[in-house]
Amino acid sequence: MNSKPLLALALTLAVVSTAATSRAEVGNNNGVANPNLAGKEELAALPHLNGSLADAIIEGRPYLTMLELQAVLESSLGADQQAELYAQLFVPINLNTASRDEILLVPGVGERMAHEFEEYRPYRAMAQFRREIGKYVDDNEVARMEQYVFVPIELNTASEADILTIPGVGQRMLHEFLEYRPYRSMEQFRREIGKYVDDGELARLERYVTLDLGS
């Protein structure tokens, strides 16, 4: 039997499999509300929140780290209440730059797992996070933790699907991200995208992107 067709098929399947596992750079956080995007009613319905705390969260936007959100809540909620809330309300953390204190706010993450998070830096894609952290916990636990983290996408090479994983980015903003490629500097990104959003939203979006000028 000629093995070439089988080899070609195997290579094709490998490419498809790799694309499928590395496509999304921002974790699947559909089950966790984002404090930068959630409305007042959504916030007030979460554990230990009410209308006044929801207003305080909205007033403090944008949150560029989880520590900023914690600062708003810690005077009103105890540590156990915060921990319960953070399971459902979280500012996704940058796997490559988050501090140890910020990593420890991820629900269910203690000192040992925080060390594992840091050990594999720099992360190039969410697929790497799944692979490395999957050495210590099962697939369901990896998927749960993935809701709270992200790896920045590369502005000039990210696919449309990658860009759409950024919380709050829809088809209109996707078009603007793509329109100004190739980006020569982060300042160019700020200047061009700043035509469409205010400074706070620009800072929020910038958290999720990076620029590799060597690519």
Asked if residue 25 has pLDDT above 90, the reply is: no
Question: Structure pTM?
Answer: 0.85
Asked if residue 35 has pLDDT above 50, the reply is: yes
- How wide is the angle at C-alpha 200 spanned by C-alphas 181 and 208, nearest 5°? 45
Give the model's pLDDT for residue 214: 73
Q: In percent, how much of the chain has pLDDT > 70?
A: 87
Asked if residue 3 has pLDDT above 60, the reply is: no
Average per-residue pLDDT in the chain? Answer: 89
Give the model's pLDDT for residue 195: 98
Asked if residue 71 has pLDDT above 70, the reply is: yes
CA distance 20 to 161: 11
Residue 38: count of CB within 10 angstroms of its CB: 19
**Which of 101-120 are b and which e, b meaning 16 or more Cβ less than 10 Å from the residue's Cβ?**
ebbebbbebeeebbeebeee
Give the model's pLDDT for residue 31: 79
Asked which of 4-8, 92-96, 164-168 is least confident by mean pLDDT, the reply is 4-8
Asked if residue 81 has pLDDT above 50, the reply is: yes
Helix residue ranges per DSSP H, 60-135: 66-73, 79-86, 100-103, 111-119, 126-133
Asked if residue 173 has pLDDT above 50, the reply is: yes
CA proximity to 61, closest of 37, 85, 29: 37
Rounded mean pLDDT of 24-29?
64
Asked if residue 38 has pLDDT above 80, the reply is: yes
Give the model's pLDDT for residue 24: 44
Asked if residue 213 has pLDDT above 90, the reply is: no
CA proximity to 148, closest of 113, 120, 199, 178: 113
Confidence bin at 9 (pLDDT 50/70/90): very low
Give the model's pLDDT for residue 29: 64
Asked which of 31-35, 96-100, 128-132, 183-187 is least confident by mean pLDDT, the reply is 31-35
- Which residues pair with residue 149 across a beta bridge? 93
CA distance 104 to 113: 9
Domain boundaries, the chain: 153-210
Confidence bin at 27 (pLDDT 50/70/90): low
What's the pLDDT tens digit per position in 114-160? 999 999 999 999 999 999 999 999 999 999 999 999 999 999 999 99
The pair of structure tokens assigned to 153 is 């996408």
Taking the alpha carbons of 42, 202, 61, 89 in that order, is the dihedral positive or negative?
Answer: positive
Which three-class secondary structure state does DSSP give residue 190? helix
